[in-house]
Each structure stands twice: as C-alpha cells, then as structure tokens.
Chain A
Amino acid sequence: MTTSIAPRRAAATAAARRGTLIGWLFALPAIAVYSAFVIYPLIMGIQYSLYRWNGVGTSEWVGFANYLRVFTDPTLLGSIRNAFVLIAFFTIIPVSAGLVLATLIRTMRPGFMSSASQTILFLPQIIPLAAAGIAWSWMYAQTGAINQILEAIGLGFITRAWLGDFDTALPAVGLIGSWVLTGLCTVLFLTGIGKIDQSLYEAVRLDGASWWREFITITIPGLRQEIAVLVTITIIAALSSFDIIYTTTLGGPGRATLVPGISIFRIGFTQSEVGLASAFGIVLMVLVLACVLPIQRLARVRDR
C-alpha cells in the first residue's frame, strides 16, 4: 500500500504543474492586454507626474511639485469641489428617488404597463451620455422647453439660459446626471424588492405600520446590498464625469462646471502641461478609490 502512494503523488504533482502551466497560458492574453493598456499607462502617468513636460521638448524633474499644485491651485481645487457637488445630483438624488419610486410602484402587477415603464426608465441608460448632453442643452436653452414650462406655470420671472448662468450651470448639469441614473436605480431597486420576503410586508401591514415605518424597517434594510452597489457606481460616475459636461458647457461659464475630467483634458492638451495633467489623473484615481473602498467595506461588514 505505502509503496504505491509515492509514485502516484509524483504523477499528481507533475499533472498539477502541467495544469498550472496551461492555466497561466489561458490567462496570459488577458493579463497581456491589461498590462499593456492599463498598468503600463498607469506607471507612465506616475512617471510623467514627476516631471515638467510640454509633450514634445525636453522634460525637467520637479519631484512632487505637480501634486502640490493640484492641491493649491484654486482652479484645480475648484474642479474637485465641483465633482463633489455633483455627487449630490449623481448619487443622492437618483438613489433616494429610486428608493421611493421603487417602493411606490412595487405594488404594480407585472404586465404590459410595468414592462413598458421599465423600458422607458431604462432609455437614458442606453443612449450615449454625450447625446443626453445635447438633448439637455436644448432643454435648458433660453428658448427651450424648461423655460417654456416655467412660463406656462407662471414662473416666467425665473427663466434664463440655465447653462450660461454662473449660479445655475452646475446644478443644471447635475440634474442631467440625475435624469440618466434615476431609471437604473429604480429598476435595480425594484428587482431587489422582489427578492425581499413578501410575508415581512404582510406582517407589518397587519401590525398597522405606516408606509414610512415599513419603508425604514423592511425596504431599506432589505436593499442594503443594492444601495451599496448603486452608491458606488454613481459616485464613480460623478467624480469621473466628462461626456455630459463636454457636450453642454465644456466647464463654463468661467469655471462654474469645471470637473477633474475636463481639467485634465484642458491642462494636458490645451495648455500642454503633461506633468500636471498626469498628476491630476493620479489624484483623481486615488480620490475615487478613497470614496469607493469605505463603501465596499461598510457593505461587507453589514452583511455579516
């Protein structure tokens, strides 16, 4: 008995080694393209960020000076601030609106009406964000539909070119994000509510609980996984917004809607300060991680 184990084990190790080799070969193409077009540019970006370089001439080592500028230049700081303001519109509004909407329409029986609603709510998710920007620039125009509606309900005195006004441009752009993301949140929450044990709802109803109590004690806890997921993706969307702003305001008027994505584009390609733009890119990446990791951890801890 004991004698046969050793060769068998040796054969097994050889097979395992061959298996490992085949496995690595399977994974190789993916690792190669990922390393070539994500990891390599990332390392290059870190290298660029330590130099002053205009993209063509010679470069000069400046250490962390570019990072210092990101955190002291009022324009750049302003664009980071704007990105955080956008979280209110990209995350807080769509997630809370989605929660309320999903709760209100959860009672709807499945049928044509509910599947048609799902299709429509999803439309903004399908079209390019750049096209959403074009559609909304026209909504917000001086002669556009928003002002027309305001006139019609007697609020003609507040009409303006919403994207051209220093005070309203950022919220106006943010609301485009709310328009795009609310549908996604609602539909995801609806499927989430479907997975909650219906007898829980029956039970609180029999106890005579109010709509609000039911919402707080059953719906929200039941959806915490979905909430964590949506908060994560919408925060990433807010901090790295580019498409909508590019097609509506390009960061203007002045710097009222300047966000990190647009800043990087401008600094890197218009002002040709490659080092500074790269440093800002790295800062943006770290900002996103700093916002997303705690949410992931929170969701996991709550799950236990």
Chain B
Amino acid sequence: MIVNRTEVVIGRIVLVVVLVATVIPLVNMLSAALQPADQNPTGLTWPTDPQWGNFVTAFETGNVLRLMGSSLFIVVFVVPISLLFATLAGYALGNLRVRGSRFIFIFLILGLTIPFEALIIPLYYQMQGLGVLNTQWAIILPLIGLYMPFSVVWMRAHFIGVPQELAEAAKVDGATTLQQFRSIQLPLARPALSALAILLFLWTWNQFLLPVVLVSDPLNRTVAGALTFFQGQYSSSIPLLNAGALIIIVPTILVFVIFQRQFIQALLQGAVKG
C-alpha cells in the first residue's frame, strides 16, 4: 500500500483525539463517583482520597441486586422466546418458502421502522387491560412482539443462504420437516442465532421507554429504566449518582469486552440488516 508519512501521522493524531473524547465522559463518571458523597465535585479531577465506599453505598441504597434480578428475569423470557419464534418463522419463510411467505414477509417488514413511541400509548392501555401493568410482564410481552420483525428478517436472511440441496437430501433420506429442522437446520443456524441473541440481550437490558412508561415501581424495571430512580434518589449527590450509574453499566461493558468480537460483528450485521 502506498501511504505517505503525513497521512499516517494525521491519522494517528485524529484517532487519539477521538478515542480520548470517547472515554472522557466515562472516566469523568468514575472520577466523580470517587469524590466524597456529600460534596459537589468539580469537573474532571482525580480525587486525593478516592471514596471506593461510594460504590458500596450506591449498591445498597440503589437495590442494585434486586434491579439486576428484575432485568435478568425480563431477559430470560424475552431473548429465548424471541429466538425460538423467529427461528421457526425464519425457517418457514427462508427455507420452506411456503405459499404466502412473501405476504407474511411484507407484513412483518411493515413493523420494522415503527418507533416504539408511536405504540406506547395503546400499549399502556393494552397492558392495563391484561392486568399486567407495573409488572415485568408489561415489558416482556410487548418486547417479544416489537423485536419480532427484526428477528424474523434476520433469521430468514440466514435460512435463505442455506443451500436447498441440504433439505432435499434430508427429504430423500426420509426425514420429516421437524426432524430436518432439528438435526440439520438448527445446528447450522448457530452463528446467526448467537449474534441475534447478543443483540436482543443488549436491546432488552438497555430498554428504557417501556419500563419507564409501563412499570411505575423502578424495582420491577430493567436496570436502564431504573436509572431515573437513581436520578431521583441521588439528586443531591453527584458522586453517588455516578457511582450508581457506573455499577449499572459495568456488567454490560465487562460482557462486551469478553465477547467483543461477537458483539461488534453482531452489531455491524444488525445495522446492515436492520
């Protein structure tokens, strides 16, 4: 590759500036979180006497354990059910290509660009009617439906790429549709499924609008939705607010750093397919 020297240098400098700008807000949260809880900190200054105890205080007064439990409960229902339904439908539309599959596909595509805000008012009264308002189910049920268009489109794209010969070979060997699905198609779909699982986990864990509107008790929300409760709780203490917010985002960041290759891959594919 022909590259001149100044270009490389400028590239490096710009990159470093952007990287610093990206991490400053996060480092700034940490530096504020370590200041004495009863004082108003100033800007980005590393504390002389870091108060790591703020994290313990925020963890206890913020009921973080219960919040994480609530989020986990929501994720445990939303992600596997969405994956199952989307895989079945994706298989029907992408591989079986049944009569009318084009119609189903267009019907689903319609929902792809609907902003959640456009549905939030009717969803509220629907959840009220079902008697699940203020419970985790008010988040779980709508999310499964709202993520369905994207998830089916995603799985369909995978199944379209699987050669038809595989299905035909299995049929010749006398496999039923269900057998064929279980022992041939599912194992092949694992990469697509795990990428979709990552996306759905992240979107559910970070979901904010639904919990804020549909669940009034912050302890029954997702952790992201509970951030507003922290804002109320610690309105007088910037250090504790930042400590609480950090406790909430650190687990996601840890999971991200461990699985970063899969995460970045999934998010990039997600962007392209969405």
- Give the B-binding residues of A (Cβ under 8 A): 16, 19-20, 22-24, 26-27, 29-31, 33-42, 44-45, 48, 55, 97, 100-101, 104-105, 107-108, 117-132, 134-136, 138-139, 141, 143-145, 147-149, 179, 182-184, 186-188, 191, 198, 201-202, 205-206, 211, 226, 229-230, 233, 236, 239-240, 242-243, 246-247, 260-261, 264-265, 268-269, 274, 277-278, 281-282, 284-285, 288-289, 292
Chain A residues within an 8 Å CB radius of B41: 143
B103-162 contacts to A, CB under 8 A, are: 104, 107-108, 111, 113-126, 141-142, 144-146, 148-149, 151-152
A38 close to B208 (CB less than 8 A): no
* Cβ contact of B117, chosen from A55, A141, A144, A260, cutoff 8 A: A260
Q: Which of B26, B92, B149, B271 has a CB less than 8 Å from the CB of A27?
A: B92
Least CB separation from A279: chain B residue? B121
Contact A145 B43 (CB under 8 A): yes
Residues of A within 8 A of B1 (CB): 107, 198, 201-202
Chain B residues numbered 8-49 whose CB sits less than 8 Å from any CB in chain A: 8, 10-11, 14-15, 18-19, 21-26, 28-29, 32, 40-44
Indicate if the CB atoms of A26 and B89 lie closer than 8 Å.
Answer: yes
A38-B141 Cα distance, complex, nearest whole Å: 11
Which of B29, B142, B177, B271 counts the most chain A CB atoms within 10 A?
A: B271
Find chain A residues with CB under 8 A from B209 CB.
Answer: 242-243, 261
Q: A202 touches which one: B2, B18, B93 (CB < 8 A)?
A: B2
- A-B pairs under 8 A by CB, number: 304
Which residue of chain B has the shortest Cβ distance to A211 in the bound complex? Answer: B7
Nearest-CB residue, chain B, relative to A17: B99
Shortest Cβ distance from A287 into B: residue? B115
Asked if B241 is at the interface (CB within 8 A of a chain A CB), the reply is yes
Task: Check A242/B117 contact, CB under 8 A, given A117-B15, A130-B227, A247-B228.
Answer: yes
Cβ-defined contact, B22 with A123, below 8 A: yes
Bitwise interface map of B from 80 to 96 toward A, beta carbon under 8 Å scored 1, else 0 = 00001110110111001
Contact of B145 with A36 in the complex, beta carbons under 8 Å: yes
CB distance from A240 to the nearest CB of B (A): 4
Q: Is the CB of A145 within 8 A of B28?
A: yes
Taking A131-B249, A240-B116, A264-B120 as contacts, is the C-beta distance between A34 and B149 under 8 angstroms?
A: yes
In the bound assembly, the distance between CA atoms of A230 and B272 in angstroms comes to 8
Do the beta carbons of A130 and B224 come within 8 Å of each other?
A: yes
**Set of chain B residues within 8 Å of A132, measured between Cβ atoms:** 25
Q: Is B193 an interface residue (CB 8 A)?
A: no
Given A37-B146, A42-B114, A134 contacting B7 (CB threshold 8 A)? no
Taking A41-B123, A41-B142, A141-B238 as given, write out 9 further A-B residue pairs in contact, using a Cβ cutoff of 8 Å, ordered by the A residue number: A44-B125, A121-B19, A126-B256, A128-B248, A134-B231, A135-B28, A242-B117, A247-B231, A281-B120
B172 at the interface (CB under 8 A from A): no
A224 → chain B closest CB, angstroms:
13
Measured as residues with beta carbon below 8 angstroms from the partner, the interface class of chain B is: 35 or more
In the bound complex, do residue B101 and residue A41 qualify as a contact, i.e. CB atoms below 8 Å apart?
no
CB within 8 Å for A45 and B85 given contacts A37-B142, A135-B245: no
Q: Say whether, besides A23-B98, A107-B8, A143-B40, A246 and B208 are in contact (CB < 8 Å).
A: yes
Distance from B142 Cβ to chain A, minimum over Cβ atoms (Å): 5
Q: Are B267 and A44 in contact (CB under 8 A)?
A: no
Determine the chain B residues whose CB is within 8 A of the CB of A29 once the complex forms: 84-85, 88-89
Complex Cα–Cα for A206 and B227 (A): 55
Q: A20-B99, A26-B89, A44-B125 are in contact. Are A33 and B145 (CB under 8 A)?
A: yes
Contact A105 B274 (CB under 8 A): no
Assess whether A104 is in contact with B11, with CB atoms less than 8 Å apart.
yes
For A31, A37, A125, A182, the residue with the greatest tally of chain B CB atoms inside 10 Å of its CB is A37
Q: In the bound complex, do residue B96 and residue A22 qualify as a contact, i.e. CB atoms below 8 Å apart?
A: yes
B268 proximal to A (CB < 8 A): yes
Which residues of chain A are near B8, meaning CB under 8 Å?
107
Choice from A33, A40, A107 contacting B3 with Cβ under 8 Å: A107
Q: B170 near A: Cβ within 8 Å?
A: no
Taking CB atoms, residues of chain A closer than 8 Å to B248 are: 128, 131
B15→A22 contact, CB < 8 A: no
Residue on A nearest B105 in the bound complex, by CB: A27
The digit string for B172-208, where 1 denotes a CB below 8 A from any CB of A, is 0000010001000000000000000000001001101
Distance to closest chain A CB from B115 (angstroms): 4
Residues of A within 8 Å of B205, CB to CB, are 128
In the complex, B242 has a CB within 8 A of chain A: yes
Q: Is the CB of A274 within 8 A of B121?
A: yes
Complex: how many Å from CA A297 to CA B274? Answer: 15
Give the residue name and chain of the B residue nearest to A23 (CB): B98
Q: Are A233 and B92 in contact (CB under 8 A)?
A: no
B257: interface (CB < 8 Å) = yes
Cross-interface CB contact of A123 among B10, B26, B91, B213, cutoff 8 Å: B26
Q: What residues of chain B lie closer than 8 Å to A247, measured between beta carbons?
A: 227-228, 231
Please give, as numbers and ranges, the residues of chain B lying within 8 Å of A100 by CB-CB distance. Answer: 14
Cβ-defined contact, B274 with A38, below 8 A: no
Task: Compute how far the CA of A95 lies from the CA of B28 in the bound complex, rounded to whole angstroms.
Answer: 26
B121–A277 CB distance below 8 A: yes
Do B18 and A284 touch (CB < 8 A)?
A: no
- Tell me the complex Cα distance, A284–B115, Å: 8
Q: Does B169 contact A (CB under 8 A)?
A: no
